[in-house]
Amino acid sequence: MAEPQTGADILVQCLVNHGVEVVFAYPGGASMPIHQALTRVRDRVRTILPRHEQGGGFAAEGYARATGKVGVCIATSGPGATNFVTCLADAKMDSVPLVAITGQVGTHVIGTDAFQETPIVEVCRAITKHHYLVTRIDDLTRVMKEAFYIARTGRPGPVLVDVPKDVQNARTVPNYDPPMNLPGYRPDRRASQADLEKVLDAIRKSEKPIIYAGGGIIAAGASPELRSFAEQTGIPVALTVHGLGSFPSEHFLCLQMLGMHGTVYANYAINEADLILALGVRFDDRVTGKLSEFAKHGKIVHVDIDPSEINKNKVAHIPVVSDVRYALRELLRLLEDRAYADLKRGGRYAEWIRQIEQWREEEPLRYPDRDDVILPQYAIERLWQILRDRGQLEETILTTGVGQHQMWAAQFWRFTTPRSWLTSGGLGAMGFGLPAAIGAKAAFPNRTVIDIDGDGSFLMNIQELACAYCEKLPVKVLLLNNQHLGMVVQWEDRFYQSNRAHTYLGAGPDEAAYPDFVTLAQGFRCGARSVSQKEDLDEA
């Protein structure tokens, strides 16, 4: 007869059974049994100790975004659990598969305001895809099986599993393959042929079509299908911030990023298009601006696996609830039919492409050519050029914090592969860049991982330099230091007559009045160098 196991050992064995190789976990009183159990599987699961639970959550996100696998983070109850809130909201907004496990006070004192108690399931109800409070040890294997299934299927997202300490310490003989109980959950959605024929008929009638592709392409693993579909039909592609990398930036059909921080020519094209093929996008406000004015001349086809996104912000003339990879594969199959042979005719949109090329030539992304300072756009583009010339771009993963540097990286880096660009888009969470880079490096130790960061964003999780050093995860950081919250300053200049309202990060006008990042990095045993002259940049 099988031996009884503790809830903590059962939970950790569930991680092993689900193929988890790395967890980011910070211990505390209510999660100690889980950490003790992790020490018993250290030959199969690597436990990385962040220096703050938020750092651990963002690192798990970096791991998940870089691999497509479910990221796992663990924290104790109370403040440990609440430090996950930002990470869970970020994963929910950006559709990142995450399982966050939190310790909880014993079941007999839940609701009494016990030491380090928070009702974390209630706190996170609106910012998780699903959530569990496990009060019976016999439910643990089913809950863990469901949590991983929900996190990675359909539209990916974060799942919270809250486990009281007495459940961790209890013993039972586990069933590691229990039936799941998910009535009404239908993650596998596929477009009908009738819907897809409507899409192709709309393309046939179009003279100025455009593909508007987002993070759903990457989540679905549909980048090859997107490229094939665009090339076969000759339709240009504009990308959201999370769509970057899903279609090669230097492809002649790529219009780069659209929206508030996008290229002029992408926005002109979406404005003039008579057909918008929206694939794995959610029509967020940073793309659309004023919704009534966005793409008002065009018929909208919206393909998304999440039915709640269809018609949420913009009415779709042809709504298609489907896995976007399946939809593109079926569209490519239909294009082989003689009935749609005309849609693959070369030069079909020659006049439309000529117009876009004119806009591209007249309104390129640009910045001043200066020798007296290092412009941040220049530093980003030069780093990209150096890696390109060395043949290292394909194996480089880029992360960012949030702010001006994030948008400049999106504009002046040229992405060629999916999952090489990791950034906090929907939530816009500062402090994301460094821990996300650490998570990506843990997943791919032989790849170059670079965090392009700003001084404000970097300071929010600078303590994770200690994690990077101690765990031997040598990420690189290109820190663009302007001593200000640059994005907010930009808005102050535009909307508030340049009145500075607490956006300066120093204490005075001289150099000694703001943090010395070289000394800080060296204090964490990391190498660092400050560069202020343009001629020193390449070597540094």
Domain ranges of the chain: 5-172, 193-362, 376-536
Tokens read off for 263? 């290229």
Are both 5-172 and 376-536 of the same fold? yes
pLDDT of the residue at 249: 96
Catalytic annotation on 116? yes
Catalytic annotation on 336? no
Task: In whole angstroms, give the CA distance from residue 97 to residue 157.
Answer: 4
CA 489, chain centre distance (Å): 25
Q: Does domain 376-536 have CATH number 3.40.50.970?
A: yes
Confidence of residue 2 (pLDDT cuts 50, 70, 90): confident
Residue type, 272: E
Percent of the chain with pLDDT over 70: 100
pLDDT tens per residue, range 183-237: 999 999 999 999 999 999 999 999 999 999 999 999 999 999 999 999 999 999 9
Beta strands 396-400; 318-321: pairing state: unpaired
pLDDT of the residue at 1: 65
pLDDT of the residue at 347: 84
Catalytic annotation on 146? no
Mean model confidence pLDDT for the chain: 96
- What's the average model confidence in pLDDT over 439-454? 98
Phi, psi of 450 (to 5 degrees): -125, 130
pLDDT of the residue at 426: 97
Task: In whole angstroms, give the CA distance from residue 80 to residue 86.
Answer: 12
**Given a cut of 80, is residue 510 above it in pLDDT?**
no
Q: Does domain 5-172 have CATH number 1.10.3660.10?
A: no
Of 5, 13, 24, 53, which one is the catalytic site residue? 53
Of 144, 407, 460, 487, which one is the catalytic site residue? 487
Do 200 and 232 touch, CB atoms closer than 8 A? no
Of 21, 32, 36, 116, which one is the catalytic site residue? 116
pTM of the model: 0.96
Catalytic annotation on 511? no
**Given a cut of 90, is residue 346 above it in pLDDT?**
no
Q: In what order do the strands lie in the sheet with 71-75?
A: 46-48, 22-25, 71-75, 98-104, 158-164, 130-133
Q: Does domain 193-362 have CATH number 3.90.209.20?
A: no
Catalytic annotation on 115? yes
Of 69, 129, 165, 314, which one is the catalytic site residue? 165
